[in-house]
Chains A and B, each alone.
Chain A
Amino acid sequence: MVEQKRIDEATGTSTVGHEWDGIEELNTPLPRWWLWTFYLTIVWALGYVILYPAWPMIDDATKGVLGWSSRGQLEQELAADAKRRAPTADAIAATDIVDLPAKPALMQAAVQGGGAAFRVHCVQCHGAGGAGLKKLYPSLTDDDWLWGGDLGSIHYTITNGIRNPDHPGTRTSQMPAFGRDGILDPAQISDVVSFVRTISRQEKASASSARGATLFADNCAVCHGAGGEGGRQVGAPKLTDAIWLYGGGRESLTATINQPRNGVMPRWGERLDPVTIKMLATYVYSLGGGEKVPAAPAAKGQGADGQP
């Protein structure tokens, strides 16, 4: 509603012509500084449009004369970060992995870097913190190792993986499917189970376990050792301890002997750089089960006393 404009007596300024309940609005011009700031923002915006990506097109946007992009900035920052970490990474690369524990600062850096890499690449199977998953993936935090728990062995396992059929360096072995392939009949398997549970002190010796002892010596001892002490060269688990990857109950053992699982692990040497693998190895080593390099050849797979 436009009314007659009039001059306000007190200030000498014209009013905008609106009136609400007797209150009128003065037509005071915008302050100069405000206007100039406004013009300046327009100039600024124009400059911005020219310098930076601004106008959206159908599948892209204008590039801007500076050639800036957020992806480019990220790459720059990543490169800068890599540069920042280069001295440590180079030092780790130049140090033999078994010498790392003797250099606490470097070892600590490696463990930290390894932890980060572990959380990206390994937790899917071995769990956060390396606890593993019962009946599927081994725990990396305990003192029981299928293929060896010293730095060198861990490093080798991560680099080459386990049971990668087309890879010459991979750790490999295969437990026969005694039940499925008919090597042992169900009664015999039951006897072997009794024997295994006896040597791991879960059951008392019985007639069944005595029969199982013979069967074990004929079929299993070649890999698992005469007393079930395991064999790390073929990744044969120790059968006398309390740790059972696939379970130590009668049912689980029967299932394992019937049809073993022969777990696999990727060879990370093809996917990760050598420094990352070294750091991963130190991290796994640091989880609580890392072993000193065994003094005697590891053929017997009994390195338990060397572990820290």
Chain B
Amino acid sequence: MTTETKNDSGRTGVRGIGLAALRGLALALVSLPGAVLCFVLSAVSIALIPIGVGIVTTPYVLTGVRAYANWRRVLAAEWGGVRIPPSYRPLPKDANPWGRTFGMLGDPATWRDLRWLPADMTAGFVTALLPPVLLLYPLEGFALAVGLWRVMPDGYWYGFVPVSDQTSALGAGVLALAVLFCAHFFTPRLLDLHFRLTRAVLGSHQGELTERVRVLTETRRDAVDTSAAELRRIERDLHDGAQARLVAMGMDLGTIEALIERDPAKARELLAQTRRSSAEALTELRELVRGIHPPVLAERGLGDAVRALALRLPVSGEVNVELPGRAEAPVESAAYFAVSEVLTNAVKHSGADRIWVDLHHAGGHLRVTVTDNGRGGAVIGAGSGLTGVERRLGTFDGVLAVSSPAGGPTMVTMEIPCALS
């Protein structure tokens, strides 16, 4: 946000100044009557609540005020690059006027709106009006210098210059030039100041906090769901796989014990089978372990784990790692499985014959890019594996971006905020 506003105040071209002055004029013309109207209507409507009329009118008036404030929020974003997120509490759709009135009055955002109206009709109005004034006032000075002074009555003041003859009129011209010079510097800044003022009064950090809480609630629910599903899968795999095989082995060993004297040949046959069962049980356990926490990841960290992953791909992969340390185990694990899923996707759907993976850490973020030379067309959502990846990363405030034009190439970028140790 700050960088955007800086960019705007730095824009001091002639067009920029003209535009700022024009916008300032428009804002000044709107803000004073708009704010006054909204304020008066709100005050009257709220004052009428005790006699009942206000109960009916207040929701409509306050909705109007919100619309007006929202319109100004949009202008602040479009003209000044100043984002002011609205943070009104949602009202129940079927609420009666009573509920609506007191619901709205109980919302701190409503009171912020009402506090903003007087600020907007005074300081806001001035800061909006100054840019056009700074640009228009010099015109009068120049006109005086050129000859307008002749038709003006004696003792006419332009700024602090009394205009009575050509010399003083030229003085007014010089002052006009000075004002114009100032306008060059201040016009965009004043408009910027107007928007910042709007944000200071109208904006609230509550909105961002609410959004943050919503995201956290959502990602936590996802994380809990995912880990519960994972535990169920592990339990089922153990139960149906290794555990069952070990039971069978126990039974076979019992049979062997009984057979060893009577039928050594049969016993030997069963022994071979038992050994095969134990090998299969081990293979299953190994696969299971790999699905929970891959050994290479535990032993070597993310970089080598991804390298090992690339070695297992049926297409040729190139892995570039620049990680000066290791991230926390849960982050490493999330990143690993995310990369694994993206690679699987690429192999299955892209038709690519080359894949590049790039891992690096910069600015407090772990960034992983997976690029393939396939036919593209990958999207997040619609039951694609990428949605699962997005969720997985979401738990760590990570984000996923996919660039995949039809015809390729596909580039999947993942970013997780984390520190390396």
A binds B: no
B contact set with A: CB distance below 8 Å: none
A contact set with B: CB distance below 8 Å: none
